[in-house]
Structure 1
Amino acid sequence: METENNMDSSVSPSFYRCKNTSDRVSLRRVNDGYIDCLYGDDERNPDYPMTQLFRYQCQTVTSPSQYVSYAKLGDGVNDCADGSDEVSNEIRWSIFKCDTNDNYACWVLQGDQFGENRLKDVRLHFHRYCDSNRDMMDGQDEKNCSDWMCDTGLYKCNRSGQCIERKSFCDGEFDCDDGEDEVNCPQILQKWKFELNCNNRTEYFCITDEYIKNQSLNRSCISWHQVGDGHIDCIGARDERNVASCPDHRMVGDRFWCDNGRKCINYIAVCNGIKDCVDETDESICYWNTGYCRAGQFSCADRNGCKSARCTTGMTCSDKSHRFWCPNSTSENYVYRSSKHRSIFDIKKGCYNQLESHTKLSISSSSSNHQAKALDDRYFYCNRGFHLQVVTSSEFFCFCPLTFYGDRCQFNSRRVAIRLRFDRRQRSDLPLILNVLVMLLLNESIVVDHRLFVDEAKEYSSKSMTYLIYPRPKPLGTYSVRIESYHSTELIHFWEYPVSPLDFLPVLRIVKVLRFPARSFPWLCSHNYCENNGTCHQREDNKFLCICAYGWKGKLCEMKTEYIHCASHSLARTETICVCPPGYLEPYCYVQNLKCQQNNCELNETCIPRSHPPIYGHICICNTSNCNINRPVISVQRQEPNQSPFLLQLLQLTGDYPTIRQQILVQPLTTFPLIKTIKTRDWGYVIGEQPEIGLLFTFESNAYSIETTLYLLFINCSSTMRNFSVNLDQQLNKCHVLPENQRHAVTLFGNFCQSFTYGTCFISDGYLCYCGYPNKNHSNCLSYQRRYTVCSYCQNQGHCVQGDLTNRTDFACVCPKISH
């Protein structure tokens, strides 16, 4: 934050001036959910147009609108006034996290940098509907569930239609909205004796307005049929605890609902002699309290005592009325039904098990649920790191990522962020595997930080990203970054880039494409400047680098090392920086990776053990032209060449959202049959299953637009490798687009499948459903958004179709009929 004394306007092209103070903040910090100005005028500021990236607009907050940073989504704190940064009209954000590079959530959250608001298309995972857990504002995902089909192993509530675990019966919490799972349960001794007057098979304890007015003519019990019916009968909405909503759009739960829903108070504030609700129902519900206890105390119903607290074992009433309106647990971190957030149905497992007709649902134990809750409670303790708790105490220790430090990871590390890509074109003589050493240097000689990784020869080279951290405190001097590439322990080439004078920046990013000179390696100096048998390497600008003999270090190998940790068969760049030969593991190259002795690669491939994480990993490199001979293929057949392109998209069932394993673009005027190898390796080059789902996109030119049609080619839930054949001349399984009035009827999708209302495949906003597989009694829906199929290389309103995701040049343009 800066101060400015001579500014006439609160807004300038580069910063915002806080009102009534001389402080000014960067425009990127206006409307980001963090209060920077003393009076908070940098937030919900109607005068500032929202143009910054990665901002979420709170859904129901208007006059003025409110925005928060993407980083605040699902962090457990209501930053939006309506709480939509935690639970929105579409999803509970805490279950939508960017964890891996191929994760659907990552793709969505990265959309802003490409000018796409992908967040608006996010939809709740299909199998999170009707699971008794609220994942949308006001529990919209738990309504109209009577026609919902539960996954195997779950109990379906008779009235609400929700799906719950059988172990949740009689645990003191409503799981079915109408409390069906708590009917006719054994009497709990902890209850207030007055509550036991109701017949728990047919009645529910409920203090109503009528009962308070006349306790002689009315009973404090209502029929179970009135519970969860959407009509509040009990004061405080105890009968609608899972149906009614509080101002934060979440269920009432153990809270007390008052003021016609404009307020919900904590259970501790009920009957404490202090009127927290405007309608005073939080005190009038305790009709026996005539005021003989002081404010802040609870009056026992038998008028035999005043207690400073309720719901505790230390403050008890003889009639147990202190247990009135108490939750299952009085733990400080207890949240109503928080342990009921179970893992969703495993789509992949379900797909394979349906084929075998014996689906089993894995349910975590209650102890693991409590452990997960305990972790949730400490989720933010270590900021961006993770914590471990000492078993014998409540002490926590934080493990921080490279970019943060401190006892709670509360400080940002000053660093240099590096993104590299090696250009191997025109250099077919380079080894398949390069060991890469990246170092942050002080005064060209002192290594203050380093990273080691490998670069693999691929058809399309991949990028590598790493961080180099400045020391703390940061010594004065000149900083630079050096990148060294090795074949085993032999240097091939090196690059060096200055950091100073920009080393004052908190974060400096260096992005480079590294090219090798057109000459043989190693490139040795014409004159050896290195001492003590060091080897001198040079580059195009005549700068040189000394690779020192074992036991020496320094810019000219002039300093002797006292103790070297590296194994003798490695290259010791310093006492602790070791470049390992193939198959020996970091950091000191003593342990050998024997993974390749297990024949993990296919025929005609060479197994190369990794020297870098993951530990005991390996890489399979093709060494002939026949490496794909034993891999499955997909054959596309058609009698005539195609006029428009086709796109095949192969999906792998992983996690909450399917992964796009492969895309195959069939260019116009292709000669058929077209045979393509199916990728069976994941991103780590580990051989896995085939893609389970195959989709086909076709494109038809109209006068001013392009019509896209989706077809379901196959569903393959078998561990056996097989080939696929697609005949485009035959009638394909078209996926029908649901009409507008049915697109949000997600809980009815199962019915659509059973009756084949929209055929055997249909799509809606965020969902893809396939019916009758593997037999007519089974169906499933995926959370699916069409992604990675379009590009931006075409002109004149042409539709750009992206093919291979690893090759940007693999695309086709479909032109409207008025363009050419």
Structure 2
Amino acid sequence: MDTMKDFVEVMDYFSNLAKRCYSAGVDTSCQNSSYFHCRNSSKCISYHRVQDGFSDSYYNVDETFDACQFNDSKRFRCKSYTNKCLSPIAVGNDVRECSDAEDEIYVYHTNSVALTPFPFLCNKNRVRDWQLSREDDRAAENCDWWPCDTPYTHCNNAWDCPNGIDELNCSDTICQFNKHECINQQTSLSYCLPVTNMFDNIIENCSKLTIERKLYFGNETNDLSEYYYSWNISKCITSEKICRHHSQKSLEHNDVCLQQTDFLKHSFKLDVCLIRNKDYLCTIRYGLRVLRNFHILITRRSGYFPKPNINISVSSITKTKQKKMILSNINIKYLGYCHQGIVVLTDVNQTKKCLCPPNYFGNRCQWQNQRISLTLQFLLRTKISLMNIFRIIIMLIDEQGQIVGDHEQITYMPVWDRNTKYNIYLLYQNRPKNLSINYSIRIDAFDKITLNYWISWYLPIPYSFLPVNRIATRLHIHDIEDRESCSLSCGNHGQCMRYTNNKSLFFCQCEHGYSGPKCNIH
């Protein structure tokens, strides 16, 4: 035990020593006036790295320094901590730099005016609603009139409506129209419960601080209204409908189910019991609502759009067996046949064919393709909205700027993809590649909504004699800058443009429908 303790101490010592080595310097002052001097660490760093959320000096001087002294209008000033002005990169990075986390609430800016993201309004997160109300009293008012089933709450794997109608008819459920999936924890059987046969136990007094709702299922035809409230009576469930004595009248609308904020204080078990004998039947698949990131444009929410009405003549409970992964028998002699690929058997003779990944070729995927293995990450260092959507085009080009191999395109949305790294293969046009050509990579960015050209980058390919080149880089997306004139003649259907990361290089940006080095090919 003592030896382990000594070993841990040694590791801590060397870890601290390594941190001191890479975060301390030997500069007594900075020769460049655009650098910030970390006095205790004797290190010079760019002013942009002061209060950017990352410690660049051993004693953390760059993060504790009052950056508001720089009088930089591009910095974000914390309202809860007046001596803290954050670099734009520290805003919306999932780390609370300000005391009240306002740097994480206002995650995008337009013309230096902070905006409240729409999904954060009335999302039943008490902490965030309180923070919003401190900034703008109108931001979270009248939340009782907000629907509980919206594109932001529908099919998010949590009940935002008291009867879970926001989780009905989702694309990832195994149940049919207007049925909740329910799993028996003991038998591992799944049930599909029609909402028309669901009941709430009538609660005597809802004025208590802790009230426990109980859910039941039944096919009974007799009158149960004295002790149970049937979900078949009304589309929406409110407190006054399931409480025998309720002092406050709930807001209600005929067509839209509104948020029921008073349900937040009620304990709600998602276990379902049978009415006839009170025995446990199953547990609803989705849990209670918890704080989560807002991913709105996802496939499983496609069920939000109205579906055609289906007449169900007989209300019944559907039992389905739990899904099991079934792996068919695979002949072991096929496992290594295609090396890096997948073997498939074709025609009646069961002829073996190989499906090769992009980086291999051959009848058995036994040879490597000559290629560029490219890893990209985009950084937004600008005031443009994080809600912008960019279409990124990646091309393998020759000295004339012509595409001579693969090209790929990706869609980049900063609000969701800011930490995403894209791994791309670019294959050469010929096999083997032409060693007399100096290949390079050109990357164009367009506004996906307007299709307007935005910016371009140039990436050289070092050591072109290698069969495989691996390149990893970060590309900064800036505001659209004033176009600098350049000397390249691009004819009547093109415009000379400079690469944003290498101003000494330029190319012809052709109009729609034209191509070629001089944009003269229609």
Tell me the TM-score normalised to structure 1 length. Answer: 0.23
Larger Rg: 1
**Structure with greater proportional strand content:** 2
Higher relative contact order (CA 8 A, sep 6+): 2
